[in-house]
Each structure stands twice: as C-alpha cells, then as structure tokens.
Chain A
Amino acid sequence: MTRNRYETVFIITPVLSDEQTKDVIKKYKDLLKDKGAKITHEENWGMRKLAYPIQKKSTGFYYLMEFEADASVILPFETEFRRDERVIRFLTTRMDKFHIEYAEGRRDRETDRREKPKQTAAGTETKA
C-alpha cells in the first residue's frame, strides 16, 4: 500500500472543557497509531477567532497533525471526523515534496520561536 505524508488541520468546538478537547485530540492520535500511522509533528494553535461563524460559533480550537500513513488509512480517519460532532471542521492534505520541505523548514522556525521564554498563557501555545 503506498505510504504518503499527510497533514490534517481540524477545529474543535470551543464549548468543550479543556479536558474534553484533550481527549478529542487523544482519540484521533490513538486512531492513527493503531492504524499504523507515524505522527511526525503536531501543533496546537489553541483557541483562535474564526474568519466566519461555523455552527453559530465564532471561535474554535485549532489542532494540526502531520503524519505518515498508508493511503487506505485516510478514508476511515475522515469518516470518523465526520461522525464526531465535537469537530466542526477538518482538512486533510497530502504533502508533496515541496510541502514536506516547507514543513520541515517551518518546524525549525517554530521550535526556535518556542525556545523564547513564553509569556503567553501557559496552556495554549499561540502560533504567531
């Protein structure tokens, strides 16, 4: 089965408590793991303002996951997203070689930004 690199961004509804958002993220990570995927990078963008209201909500909890998986893993993974009503929007993209190169570059920029002493709220790590 061809094994590709994918990148998924999904938005969790803001009404959940911190605990529930964590176990939504954990649920999808475990789902990927037991399907044999290898998660290469994760980013927690935290609570962000949406550009337009989705389901009458104007903020959402963004989470980014980069993983390497077989092509057959993606369909059940996405139907799981569709079935779960706590996730209000998701987008999975296949990473071509330019995208992978860019993601690696972005990761170094991301880490050296995180090295700086974080004044932001301890819990969520804001991207910008």
Chain B
Amino acid sequence: MADNKNVRYLNPIAIDTKSERYCRFREKGFKYIDYKDPDFLLMLINEQGKILPRRLTGTSLKYQRRVGKAIKKARHIALLPYLADQLR
C-alpha cells in the first residue's frame, strides 16, 4: 500500500479556493423583500423558474425564507411563472 507521502493527485485538490460567500440581503440591509417586482426576484430563480438554493446564492436562512415566500406570492399572482424554459 503506497504510503501517503508520495501519492500525487492528478489535479490539485481545491481546499481554500471556495470564495467567502456573503448574504447580499444582510450586507445591503434589506428589511423587506417585495413580491411585487418580478425583475428583482428574477435574479433569485434559475432558468426553469425554480428558486435558487442558498448554497449558490449564499443568502442567510432568515432572508432565504423571505425570498421563498415572496417568490411563491409572485407566482400566485402570475408575475413569475411556476415553470419556464430559458427564462433569462
């Protein structure tokens, strides 16, 4: 069993390259996420109209819940589609 010392990986393992993500809502001091302007919410959903997960957008749990609620309300009043193809 080759000991670990001279084991060389094919490509360098990414340890610290994960950029430090921040919650843009907390940075900018958002107090309320409005469900009425779709063009802001468009940034938070992907091409199929699904809500982007926190690990991609980096938002904190508190604001992710508000975003989720706002997007579902916007979908209810047909400002955002439930499912779409290449929304951008």
- A residues near B (Cβ < 8 Å) are 9, 11, 50-52, 54, 60, 62, 64, 89, 91, 93, 98-99, 101-102, 106, 128
The CA of A64 and the CA of B39, in the complex, are separated in Å by: 18
**Cβ B81 vs Cβ A89 within 8 A:** no
Once A91-B73, A93-B73 are accepted as A-B contacts, the answer to whether A51 and B32 lie under 8 Å apart by CB is no
- B residues near A (Cβ < 8 Å) are 31-32, 34-36, 38-39, 73, 75-82, 84
Q: Which residues of the other chain, B, contact A102 by a CB distance below 8 angstroms?
A: 31-32, 34
**Cβ B76 vs Cβ A89 within 8 A:** yes
**Cβ B77 vs Cβ A91 within 8 A:** yes
**Cβ B77 vs Cβ A52 within 8 A:** no
The CA of A102 and the CA of B3, in the complex, are separated in Å by: 62
- Interface contacts beyond A91-B76, A98-B31, A98-B32: sample of 7 additional A-B pairs, CB < 8 Å, sorted by A: A50-B78, A51-B38, A54-B78, A89-B77, A99-B32, A102-B31, A102-B34
Q: Which residues of the other chain, A, contact B36 by a CB distance below 8 angstroms?
A: 9, 64
Partner of B81, one of A51, A93, A106: A51
Q: Which residues of the other chain, A, contact B39 by a CB distance below 8 angstroms?
A: 128
Determine the residue in chain A with the shortest Cβ distance to B35: A93
Q: Which residues of the other chain, B, contact A91 by a CB distance below 8 angstroms?
A: 73, 76-77
The CA of A106 and the CA of B31, in the complex, are separated in Å by: 13
The CA of A102 and the CA of B76, in the complex, are separated in Å by: 21
**Cβ B31 vs Cβ A52 within 8 A:** no
Partner of B80, one of A51, A62, A64, A128: A51
Top 6 nearest A-B pairs by Cβ distance? A98-B32, A50-B78, A51-B81, A98-B31, A102-B32, A51-B78
7 A-B pairs within 8 Å (CB atoms) are namely: A9-B36, A51-B38, A62-B77, A98-B31, A102-B32, A102-B34, A128-B39
CB distance from B84 to the nearest CB of A (A): 8
The CA of A128 and the CA of B37, in the complex, are separated in Å by: 9
Once A9-B36, A52-B82, A64-B36 are accepted as A-B contacts, the answer to whether A101 and B77 lie under 8 Å apart by CB is no
